[in-house]
């Protein structure tokens, strides 16, 4: 069962055998991890150092690799002289691939792959390990460090799988926090009032403004947040230290309370979090996962997508002046972290904040930011002022959109909000009640295909609106979704009805990503080991489970333009004919030399001559970085393999096939004849 992004309904779609497995492999960050040269090198250095230490003691070297993935760390250990290596992997397709990779590199006699979770491993003559290991190497970390169960994994291994005098890689981890003021970042979590006209304000419901939000981590490429968009209110603080060697017990639930001095004045809105790993027992090798500005050499900071940095939204916002003391409280359980600056009446918060308003369940951070976008809201309001009259009957078909409330505030006679999702229904209902427009706005809890004249009180619609945003759509399908809905709803429209947006364009630009291309690029080799078998597995999984165009928030992934922006498709929404299928082909000229590793796609919309884009926020200039909208995802088509292009010599070709159940995009680079 899958959701058709065009018609918005669930459909049965036949998938290949083991599709879920392929999808999980395709979505994994294995390739990204293996492209992380710093990670690979520092694990390798720590392993060689540990094995040399054991050999100097005259001890047999017995290595246990937990979460082996491709077997890379196990092969490092085997090549460095380990006498035995047990590679533990719980995910069957990856464990099978590890066996192939290990055999391809000639280590099948030295490495034993065990398909189990590490807590299920047995020790003894007939066990998975003949005897306990004396070196543990594990890579079981995520953005929050502990979200993959790292604490339990190390605790169990030290107690049951390792000799008392063992070496653990990494040996320890430190978690850092920094209190930040940022109106931009706050706008991704808390809804603000919308000023529609003098004396007319859309106020968020009280249940939303009083909600602390969710403790769920917001992972981002923190280095890409413009530094003029936030102010550090404290220096970085080490809030937790975890020792994985067994010399100290690992606490599954822990609280850290410390008074820190404010270095700037402002509102304590959020906490930035990152961590580092002490790779060896002596602390000579450190793997720092912080943003560029805390790295020893910011210009050489390594990009990684498998470990990002984290934002946590503080439950209570506290205003401070430079020099004030702030009581920062940090918490963690077995899998997650959260932070607070407790008020005097509530100095300790033992439970993770949870969302009770459902906004943080219904809307993503980007969607909340979209609703708070003052520039875009003002564009919508300007557009509505041109079409809304006291006799306007409006139908809003976007998901959870505030356009219906805006239209009511601007004096429309009747507004129908078509909301098929219960959570969106509840959210818009709370907005309608909070802003006293219940007599104007009626919420229709139906699918568009089920709408009747009775639902519309036998009125003809003279303003059809979309934002456009549809929660089940994946960019760039919003264009086709609205096109389909506009046709579906044509019978309810008055002859002179305004359809907004009036036009939509699917646009594209050839790009050279600095780093994002790596998530779909073959690894080939890492630390001298052949990983082509892994590449084959990933490429097969991607071809089966992934769409040709992937959604990504491109503001987090720098790229420069190699072509001008190009119109691929144009839709005139004033026409009511929806085509179930079509095919187009064409060419895009290359305008700048570089490495073309992808094509970025987005949609532009025209609302009464007001242009609203889901893509670049500034005009594209070839050979310069593109500035992307921070509240939208764009589409990315990766070019395999990346191609060095030269203007006048190369051209980008495209072919788009569309039908209501399936679509395909194909881009390629060819030389001009």
Paired tokens of 626: 């593109």
Q: Is 452 helix (H, G, I), strand (E, B) or coil?
A: coil
The answer to whether the beta carbons of residues 508 and 599 sit under 8 Å apart is yes
Q: How many CA atoms lie within 13 A of 196 on its CB side?
A: 19
The sign of the CA dihedral 467, 213, 173, 128 is negative
Assess whether 139 carries a catalytic annotation.
yes
Assess whether 89 carries a catalytic annotation.
no
Neighbouring residues of 254: CB distance < 8 A, sequence distance ≥ 6: 240, 331, 332
Strands 393-396 vs 461-465: parallel, antiparallel or unpaired? parallel
Category of 5 on φ-ψ map: left (φ > 0), alpha (ψ -120 to 50) or beta: alpha
Return the H-helix or E-strand segment holding 387.
helix 374-387
Paired tokens of 547: 């769409």
Strands 2-3 vs 194-197: parallel, antiparallel or unpaired? unpaired
Active-site residue identified among 24, 38, 108, 148: 148
What CA–CA distance (Å, rounded) separates 603 from 155?
Answer: 50
Tokens 């009280």 identify what position?
206
Ordered alpha helix ranges (H), 465-588: 478-488, 532-545
Return phi, psi of residue 480, to 5°. Answer: -70, -35
Active-site residue identified among 139, 181, 434, 556: 139
Ordered alpha helix ranges (H), 36-112: 37-56, 72-79, 92-104
Return phi, psi of residue 280, to 5°. Answer: -110, 170
DSSP state of 122: -
**Catalytic residue numbers?**
139, 148
């Amino acid at each position: 069962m899958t959701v058709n992004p065009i018609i918005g309904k669930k459909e049965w779609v036949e998938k290949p055998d083991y599709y879920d497995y392929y999808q999980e492999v395709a979505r994994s960050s294995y390739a990204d991890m293996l492209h992380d040269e710093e990670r690979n090198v520092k694990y390798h250095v720590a392993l060689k150092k540990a094995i040399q230490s054991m050999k100097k003691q005259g001890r047999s070297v017995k290595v246990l690799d937990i979460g082996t993935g491709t077997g890379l760390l196990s092969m490092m250990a085997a090549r460095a002289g380990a006498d035995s290596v047990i590679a533990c992997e719980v995910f069957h397709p990856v464990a099978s691939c590890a066996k192939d990779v290990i055999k391809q590199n000639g280590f099948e006699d030295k490495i034993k792959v065990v398909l189990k979770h590490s807590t299920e491993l047995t020790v003894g003559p007939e066990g998975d390990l003949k005897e306990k290991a004396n070196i543990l190497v594990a890579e079981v970390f995520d953005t929050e460090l502990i979200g993959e169960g790292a604490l339990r994994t190390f605790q169990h291994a030290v107690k049951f799988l390792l000799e008392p005098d063992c070496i653990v890689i990494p040996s320890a981890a430190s978690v850092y926090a920094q209190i930040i003021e940022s109106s931009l970042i706050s706008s991704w979590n808390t809804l603000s009032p919308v000023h529609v006209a003098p004396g007319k304000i859309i106020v968020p419901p009280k249940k939303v403004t009083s909600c602390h939000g969710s403790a769920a981590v917001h992972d981002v490429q923190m280095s890409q947040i413009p530094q003029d968009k936030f102010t550090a209110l404290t220096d970085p603080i080490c809030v937790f230290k975890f020792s994985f060697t067994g010399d100290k017990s690992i606490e599954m639930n822990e609280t850290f309370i410390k008074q820190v001095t404010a270095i700037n004045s402002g509102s304590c809105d959020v906490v930035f979090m990152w961590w580092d790993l002490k790779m060896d027992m002596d602390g000579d090798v450190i793997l720092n996962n912080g943003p560029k500005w805390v790295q020893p050499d910011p210009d050489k900071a390594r990009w990684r997508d498998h470990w990002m940095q984290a934002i946590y939204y503080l439950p209570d916002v506290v205003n401070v002046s430079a020099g004030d003391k702030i009581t920062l409280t940090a918490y963690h359980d077995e899998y997650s972290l959260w932070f607070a600056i407790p008020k005097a009446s509530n100095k300790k918060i033992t439970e993770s904040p949870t969302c009770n308003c459902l906004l943080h369940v219904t809307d993503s951070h980007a969607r909340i930011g979209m609703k708070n976008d003052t520039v875009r809201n003002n564009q919508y309001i300007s557009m509505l002022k041109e079409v809304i009259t006291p006799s306007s009957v409006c139908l809003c078909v976007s998901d959870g959109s505030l356009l219906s409330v805006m239209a009511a505030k601007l004096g429309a006679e009747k507004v129908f909000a078509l909301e098929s999702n219960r959570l969106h229904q509840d959210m818009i209902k709370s907005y309608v009640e909070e802003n006293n427009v219940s007599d104007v706005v009626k919420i229709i809890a139906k699918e568009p295909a089920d709408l009747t004249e009775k639902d519309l009180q036998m009125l003809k619609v003279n303003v059809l609106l979309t934002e456009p945003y549809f929660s089940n759509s994946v960019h760039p399908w919003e264009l086709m979704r609205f096109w389909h809905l506009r046709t579906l709803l044509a019978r309810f429209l008055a002859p002179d009805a305004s359809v907004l947006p009036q036009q939509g364009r699917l646009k594209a630009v050839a790009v050279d990503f600095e780093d994002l291309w790596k998530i779909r690029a073959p690894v080939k080799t890492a630390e001298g080991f052949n990983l082509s078998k892994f590449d084959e597995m990933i490429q097969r999984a991607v071809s089966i489970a992934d769409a040709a165009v992937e959604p990504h928030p491109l503001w987090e992934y720098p790229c420069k333009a190699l072509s001008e922006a190009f119109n691929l498709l144009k839709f005139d929404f004033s026409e009511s004919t929806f085509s179930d299928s079509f095919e187009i082909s064409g060419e895009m000229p290359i305008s700048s030399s570089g490495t073309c590793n992808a094509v970025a796609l987005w949609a532009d919309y025209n609302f009464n001559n007001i242009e609203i884009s889901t893509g670049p926020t500034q005009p594209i200039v070839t050979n310069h970085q593109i500035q992307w909208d921070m509240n939208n995802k764009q589409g990315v088509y990766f070019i395999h393999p990346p191609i060095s292009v030269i203007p006048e010599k190369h051209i980008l070709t495209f072919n788009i096939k569309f039908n209501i159940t399936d679509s395909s995009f194909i881009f390629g680079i060819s030389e001009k004849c």
